[in-house]
Each structure stands twice: as structure tokens, then as C-alpha cells.
Amino acid sequence: MKLFSPLYARVMTWSRHPRAPWYLGGLSFAESSFFPVPPDVMLAPMCLANPHRAWSFALLTTLTSVAGGLFGFAIGYFALDALLPWLQQSRYWPAYQTAVAWFGEWGFWAVFIAGFSPIPYKVFTIAAGALSMALAPFVLASIVGRGLRFYLVAGLMAWGGARMEAVLHRYVDRLGWATVALVGLVALWYGI
């Protein structure tokens, strides 16, 4: 069943849209402070579709993500009391508690690791503000962590370019169903 190839074709068309960089910047900003979808889902296809612009897309994603991180920092610094009841009821509460513990132990490195890894960065930006982390190390860790991540994604996609796009187009349905099966197996394993 070809469910994923039409979606893939649509995403590749959207990634070539003249306003796609604006959407990428908006998504990057929002993800760093409150939105659950990571910008990699837009950055990767945009870099595949326009490999010659991959580095500018990575820079845009990094800068808007750090700006969103500063917004998350402000939320934590100024509005944590209002946000806490919601946060305690959300699926982000365990991640927030982890972030607080990591800040106590690693500080700067906690933001760096969250910026680079798939750990929810937004939780760490809010926790950094709530714990009054010094702003300069926060910004530096965010720029380095987010920059490394987004430049790595952009570089890999630009390196693959048209070849990778063609291969993905050919195998996207198999990859999509394999991913669904893997997620299903993990859900069964953990009893979700």
C-alpha cells in the first residue's frame, strides 16, 4: 500500500515553496519554547530539495531556535508559577524534573546536550529560566548544541542531494511501514 510516497512527494513540493524558509524559522522558534514538532522534519526535506541552500537553512534554523530558546527561558523565568500546574499534568513533567536535576549537576552541559540530542529542548529552556541560569552560558550552549545538530542534518541532506532524494522516493513506503512496525513493537514491548 503506497501511503507514504504521496506524503513524501507533498513534503518535497512544500519544501521548495518560496515561503518555506519562513515556515522553517517559525517552526524552529516555536519548537524551542512550546511546540512539540522538531524543525528537523522541515529542515531535512528543504536541504534535500535545495542542497545549495542547506547551510543557510541550517543557520536560519539555529538562530530562530536559539531565539525560541530565549522565549522559553523567559517563560521559565517570568511565568513558571502560572505554567507549573499544566506542566505537572503534561507528558513533559518527567522531562522537566530530569532537566532540573541535570542543571543541578551539569548546568551549561545540560543545555548543550538537550540542544543537540532528541531530548525535548523546550523543557530545558524553560527549566533554565526557572532556575535563573546565567544568560550568556545558556545562549552559548544553545548556539553550539543547536548549531551542531542542524548543521549535521543539513550537511547530510546536502551531501545526499538528488541521489538521496531519488533513493528515498523509491523506498519511502517500505521505510514508512518499517517505522510503523518498529514503533508498534516498541509500544508492545513497553506496554504502552
State the cell numbers at 16. 521548495
Q: Are 33 and 68 in contact (CB under 8 A)?
A: yes
pTM above 0.75, yes or no: yes
Q: Where are the domains of the chain?
A: 9-158
**From first to last of its 192 residues, what are the pLDDT tens digits of the chain?**
676 667 666 777 777 888 999 999 998 999 998 888 888 888 988 898 889 999 999 999 999 999 999 999 999 999 988 988 988 888 888 888 888 888 878 888 888 888 888 778 888 898 899 889 999 999 999 999 999 999 999 998 888 877 777 776 676 677 667 777 777 777 777 665
CA distances from 4 to 9, 100, 182 (A): 9, 39, 16
